[in-house]
Amino acid sequence: MFALALHGGAGTIARAALTPALEADYRAALRAALDLGTDLLAQGAPALDAVEATVRSLEDCPLFNAGRGAVFTHEGHHEMDAALMDGATRRAGAVAGVREVQNPIRAARLVMEQTEHVLLAYPGADQLAREHGLPLQPPAYFFTQQRYDQLQEAIAAGRVQLDHTPSDPPKLDPNWKKGTVGAVARDQRGHLAAATSTGGMTNKRYARIGDTPLIGAGTWADAHCAISCTGHGEYFIRAVASYDVACLMEYRGLSLAEACRVVVHDKLAPVGGEGGLIAVDAAGNLALPFNSEGMYRASRNMAGEVHIAIY
């Protein structure tokens, strides 16, 4: 009796730009990450282990804006954020702006388990990872031609962007700023956990940090629910989006599905907060709402039913 959901980012995912071959690649990557996480849960692993492993799988795939597929900053390097939270204990760990860590989600767990802190930023977060022997990679590991081309396009247009920014309609629409991976799980003991990782915004400057590593904004887990968000981070920060879902459930008695709907469609959408989230509650119910054109997502519910979708 377990459940798992994951996402690979939300936003304006143009059908015309997603060839059948590329769509098949995305679906295969989503399925591989889902299988990895559900296999662990089936073996009795804790929810925290399952979400970390699931996110690591997505970080290792260059298709997604996290880890190996992270986008470029204005200066031409990578600044990655990640967080995870254990619902049973409310312990959490997060990193911001790491540049060398192969899997930022592993560094986030290191913060949770090996320090008395919640959030560490570059360069300290990279130093902690180095001291504990986490795999580090040179800049070439994180280089992909697609991400580099996105940077050049963004610099030429004078804008900041994330994944799924199409060249037509207009390039300067500020709402095309989505690109994150995440996972939520309910294990066989009924415990919940959430994990989120991102490469941030293409052409971002001044060490910008989004909602992903901020507990209560892009990532949350307690005894009632676990949430991982993806979208325009500034809006999710101002809405304290993931914690708001938990509050609506605890204080207003809303179901998981209704609480997620209120946050994504009633609170975020009207003010321009395009994106979505994935969530699971203590009973194993799942919710994967989004208000954008698409969201890469996959899930396995308590009945064992698998769902993989993009639009």
Tens-place pLDDT, residues 184-197: 999 999 999 999 99
What's the confidence (pLDDT) of residue 290? 97
Percentage of the chain surpassing pLDDT 90? 84
- In the annotated binding site for substrate, the residues are 208-211, 230-233
- Mean pLDDT calculated for residue range 243-270: 98
Residue 87: is its pLDDT beyond 50? yes
CA nearest to 50, candidates 42, 40, 63, 65? 40
CA nearest to 22, candidates 173, 162, 169, 163? 163
- Mean pLDDT calculated for residue range 274-288: 97
Could you read off the pLDDT of 163-187 as tens digits, one per residue? Answer: 544 444 434 333 344 579 999 999 9
What's the confidence (pLDDT) of residue 162? 54
Give me the sign of the Cα torsion angle 306, 38, 292, 18.
Answer: negative
Residue 76: is its pLDDT beyond 70? yes
Q: Which residue has the higher pLDDT, 86 or 160?
A: 86
Give me the sign of the Cα torsion angle 120, 57, 182, 184.
Answer: negative
Could you read off the pLDDT of 110-140 as tens digits, one per residue? Answer: 999 999 999 999 999 999 999 999 999 999 9
Crossing angle of the two packed helices 47-59 and 104-114, in degrees rounded to 10 = 150
What's the confidence (pLDDT) of residue 160? 77
Angle at 274 between CA 217 and CA 64, to 5 degrees: 80
- Return d(Cα 122, Cα 293) in angstroms, integer: 33
Residue 198 is among the residues annotated as catalytic for this protein: no
Confidence tier at 11 by pLDDT (50, 70, 90)? confident
Confidence tier at 81 by pLDDT (50, 70, 90)? very high
What's the confidence (pLDDT) of residue 161? 63
- Mean pLDDT calculated for residue range 44-70: 97
What's the confidence (pLDDT) of residue 17? 74
Omega prior to 138 cis, within 30 of 0: no
Q: Domains (ranges, CATH) in the chain?
A: 3-309 (3.60.20.30)
pTM of the complete model = 0.93
Confidence tier at 14 by pLDDT (50, 70, 90)? confident
Tell me which of 180, 196, 198, 202 is the catalytic residue.
180
Which neighbouring-strand residues pair with 101? 136
What's the confidence (pLDDT) of residue 148? 87
Q: Residue 101: helix, strand or coil by DSSP?
A: strand
What's the confidence (pLDDT) of residue 165? 46
- Mean pLDDT calculated for residue range 61-89: 95
- In the annotated binding site, the residues are 208-211, 230-233
- Mean pLDDT calculated for residue range 249-259: 98
